[in-house]
Chain A
Amino acid sequence: MTTFATRRILTRYLAVIAIVLLAPLWLGNNAYNVSVAIGILMFALPALGAWLLLNCGIWSFGQGAFASLGAYTTALLLMRLGVLFWPALLAGGVVAAAVSLVLVYPFLRTSGVVFSILTLVGLSALDETILLTPPITGGGGGLIGVPAPPSVTVLGVNLATETGEYFIIALLLVLALAAVYCMDRAGYLRILRASAQNEDLAEAVGINTRQCRAAVFVFAAFLTGLAGAFSASYLQSVQPSVWDVFPSIYIVAYAIVGGVGSAFGPLLGTATIIFVASELSSSSATGSNGLLPILLGACLAAVVLILPGGMASIGSGVVGAGRRGKSRLRRGGV
């Protein structure tokens, strides 16, 4: 039953998943390279969530709030209650999704710019709450000494090592990509895009745009919460500044730079920007010397002005041109 087109889509997903999982072979044992790669995937996961939101026409600049929620949940479960690593990680995502479920319907009463500003204000309110509750969250200093993943060897990789950490976040991203693949195959992505392109028309053909957006918002919050939860355990600390306003803006920017049209855009955008910035500055992936925002901002403007489809459209643009050429030939034949 699988047609050529669907098999090609599956092949692409499998290829990207293979690249993500096989990257440690290329990175080797260089701890710095692996840490950059972890930084990339840690932001690619929320960027995938932001990408889904962009596809249904939602601009959320407050995704960091869900990452913070996930990070603090997991950190507190690991430190105070001694919960095992995997359940605590999952709980981070679940708490973020639960909070987003409470917020999403009131938030979706607004749209456009007001929604974006609402997400920004919501994130700031959460940050402020964190600062005001030092007994629980450690306030501005955050929580320090979050336990690392258990020192268990799975398939020859110790999870407590840098490479092990890489595989944990890679696993989360691969599962998320698999979920997006299923959404793609089920035609759900097309429904999202329809509701973004013309809401009235989408409603007219029977799409419940509000519910679609709500579902995507909660799923994106879940992915972002997982990334935050992972960051708590990987950095062995939680600080409100890690998932602040600007990281939240970066998350959306990575998705745009990579390309809103392709599910691999978020990973591509995040990987390119963070990799180049880290190569140029040879500092940490979050970058405090201004290089990362300059690079990201320049790419953002360049994508908007020159390449609306983002980086992912560079390759497919060639393919698309070829296809157009063929169809023109066919039309000529008739």
Chain B
Amino acid sequence: MAQVLTDFLVMGALYTLVAIGLSLVFSVMRIVNFAHAQMYMLGAYGTYLLYGQMRWPFVLAVPITAATVGAFGVACEFVIIRPVRQDPARAMISTLGLLLVLGGLALMVFGQNGRFAPEPLAGTVFALGSRIDPFQLADAGLATVVVGLLFSGLHFSRMGRALRAVAQDELGARLQGIDVGLIRTTGFAIGAALAALAGSLIMPLTTATPDMGNNILLDMFIIVVIGGLGSIWGAVVGAFVLALLQTVGVTYLGQFSILIVYLLVMLLLLVRPSGVLGYQST
């Protein structure tokens, strides 16, 4: 029971990081970023290299990986999105191209086999009468702190308010003297870094594989459409709903739970295409 609960918390927290990033990019740039899933994969491989191979401390490897992937996101935004930003459909195709290229490169460089690194925190913690992996708790806690920082940043910092202004009304933001291009790039970088952070944090719990981005692709889309595209709170709700269905559901409903998730999502989208908290569907 406690293990299921921990799994649910960790999964929900990490899904939240990925989904908030995707939703942020969508709300600021109005494009669906397929390559977002590979930022998650890059985060896992970055941590594997720095922490698993080069033996850096985990607490150092994770932020450096996230920052590096964020910088990579900036480069991607400049090269493949900026030239076509007027046309969301074309921008979507170029991110799709990036998704395929990064997935293929990872397969070429690291091979099909998963890359493993030991968990940074040893030992066990006893809670609710059963053993719990302390690293899982640390993961969930860390993700929650980052999400909290992000929310306060979005609400109280100048940059965060500019991001929200661009998300609400691009022309209005421009009229207020906001550098929309800069904000778009920043939003993309933050999104990429958040996905990479999720990949970094989950890496020691599983293995880094070239497919991990591809595997989270569908989950991340499901989360943002459950919550409503472009809604940050919606992404949080969607992440925990999906995590609940995938952990508690799998435990109590068995193998049918995944199919039930898909069917429920289809039903939701057909009845309410804008999602639970969505303010628009594009």
Contacts and interface: CB of A to CB of B under 8 A. Distances in A.
A114 B225 CA distance: 7
B269 A110 contact: yes
Interface string B249-282: 0000001101100110110011001000000011
B214 interface: yes
A107 B92 CA distance: 21
B178 to A, nearest CB: 25
A322 interface: no
B64 interface: no
Contact of A290 (B84, B96, B210, B269): B210
Nearest to A118: B269
B258 A294 contact: no
A221 interface: no
A109 interface: yes
Main secondary structure of the interface of A (DSSP, over half): helix
Given A114-B225, A121-B265, A121-B266, A292 B104 contact: yes
A305 B91 CA distance: 9
A300 B93 contact: yes
Nearest to B281: A114
A295 B269 CA distance: 34
Contact of A253 (B96, B259, B281): B96
Interface of A: 59, 106-107, 109-114, 116-118, 120-122, 124-125, 128-129, 132, 245-246, 249, 253, 256, 288-305, 308
A114 B273 contact: yes
A124 B266 CA distance: 11
24 contacts: A110-B270, A112-B281, A113-B32, A113-B92, A114-B225, A120-B221, A121-B262, A121-B269, A122-B266, A128-B258, A128-B259, A128-B262, A129-B259, A132-B255, A246-B214, A289-B108, A290-B106, A290-B107, A290-B108, A291-B108, A298-B97, A304-B91, A305-B84, A305-B94
Nearest to A113: B32
A245 B97 contact: no
B172 interface: no
Nearest to A103: B266
Contacts of B112: 288
A301 B82 CA distance: 12
B217 A301 contact: no
B93 A256 contact: yes
A173 B119 CA distance: 53
B100 A296 contact: yes
A114 B269 contact: yes
Given A120-B221, A128-B258, A294-B100, A308 B90 contact: yes
Contacts of A114: 225, 229, 269, 273, 281
Contacts of B108: 289-291, 294
Contacts of B96: 249, 253, 297, 300
Contacts of A303: 93
B222 interface: yes
Contacts of B98: 297, 301
Contacts of B258: 128
Interface string B108-131: 100010000000000000000000
Contacts of A295: 104
A125 B266 contact: yes
B282 A125 contact: no
Contacts of B256: 132
A299 B218 CA distance: 23
A296 B100 CA distance: 7
Contacts of B210: 290
